[in-house]
Amino acid sequence: MTDNKKEDQAKLLVNILQEYYKNNAEKVYMPEEFENREFGFSFFDGKFKRHISFHSFDDYKTFLIENVPKDVYYSIALYRNPSIDMQNKGWLGAELPFDLDAEQVLRTSDELLKRGWISSSQYQRIKELAINLIENFLEADFGLKSDDYLVSFSGSRGYHIRIKEKTYLGLDQKARRQIVEYVAIGPSINFPTHQSRFLPFAHDYGWNRKIFLWLKHIDSTAFSADEVALKILAKIKKLNKPSELVITNVERRAFENMFTKALSELTISIDERVTVDVNRLLRAPMTVHGGSGFLVKPLSKSSLEKFDPFVHASMPLNSYRRIIVKEIPFEVSINNETVSPSDQGKTIEVNSALAYYLVIRGGGNILE
C-alpha cells in the first residue's frame, strides 16, 4: 500500500473514532485525583504528546472529540504539577500496575499473535491468568478487596490491573520489583545440609499454600515416571495443611523437581517494566485502543469472568462502511456481524467497529 493510500485509510479510521467519541464521551472513565494525573496521546501521524493535564473532566472529553487521538493514556502516578517536565512534577505516589500481555503471559512467540490476531481461545487463557492473579495473589496473599484495584481489558492483547489502595502508592521501585518476583518467579527451596528430615513448608499461607494445594490436587500421571514423587504425592493427599509435610533426604531430589514443576504452572509472567516504573502511563479506560478498535474496558471481577472482547469491547456504532476483505486468519464477529477467511477478495458492507478492526489489523481496506 502506498503512503497516500495509508494516509487515506488513516483518515477514514479517524472518522470512526470521532464518531465514537462524539456519541460516547460521557462514558469515558474519570480517574480518581483527576487533576493530579498526567495524560498522553498518540495520533495517526505518529506524533505522541504527553505532559498534559486537565482542570476539568469536560475539558478532557472536549479534547477527545476535537483532537481524536489514536490512543489515550494517563499516569499511574499523582503529581503536584502534572503538566510540567518530569523532574519538576512533584511525585506524590503511584498506583501499583500489572500488565498481562498475551505474548508474555502465554509464553509464546506466535507470529499471528505478534501482529495482533488473537483468537477467542487465546483471550480465554489470558483471562484465566488475570483471574488467577486477582484471586490467588492480590486477594489471597495481599489481602486486597475489589474496591482496592481497577481491572481493565487493555483494548488489545490482555489486561491491566491497577492497585489503588493507599498503602501501595508510596512503594519505591525496589519494593515493586520484589512484588514482580513474588508473582512471576516465586520462592526457592533450600534443603538444610546434614539433616535426614526436612519441613519444606514452614507456614500455611502464600506460596506454601499454593504449591501444597497444586500438588494435592494434581493428577498422579504428571509424575508417573518417578516412583519417589508418587509416594510424596500420596503422602500429601492425606495431609490437611502444608506445614504437616515432612520430606526425607531420599525424597529430596524428587520433591525439588515437583516444587519446580509447580512453580512453572503457578507463576504468572507479568511485564516487570510496567510494574516497576513509577511514572508509567497506562491506557485510559473507555477510550479506544487505536491498534485494534476495541475499547479499553473497565471490568468488575464478576464481569471479567464472562468477558469476551469480541462481544463486550466493541465500539457501539450505528454506522457502516464498505470494505474489501483481505486475508484474515480466522472468523471475526463484532457487533453481531461476521467476516470469515472465505470472504477474502469480496466487497462487503459491515458495521464500522468491525471495519476498523479488520483494517487496522491488515485484514481489509475501507472504500470511500
Name the residues annotated as catalytic: 99, 101, 271
Residue 170: how many other CB atoms lie within 10 Å: 12
Say how many residues make up the chain.
368
Beta bridge partners of 324: 347, 365
Cβ–Cβ < 8 Å for 294, 360: no
Q: What share of the chain is helix, strand, coil (3-state, %, to 5)?
A: 45, 20, 35
Q: How far is CA 212 from CA 47, 80, 250, in A?
A: 51, 46, 19
Residue type, 113: L
Sorted by sequence, the CB contacts under 8 Å of residue 284 that are 6+ apart come out as 28, 29, 31, 39, 72, 73, 74, 296
User: Per DSSP, which regions of 58-206 are E strands?
Assistant: 71-75, 77-79, 91-94, 96-101, 149-153, 158-163, 197-198
Rounded CA-CA distance 230/251 in Å is 10
Sorted by sequence, the CB contacts under 8 Å of residue 142 that are 6+ apart come out as 163
Roughly how many angstroms between the first and final C-alpha of the chain, as a whole number?
16
Residue type, 203: H
**Nearest by Cα to 293 from 330, 324, 327, 332:** 332
Cβ–Cβ < 8 Å for 131, 307: no
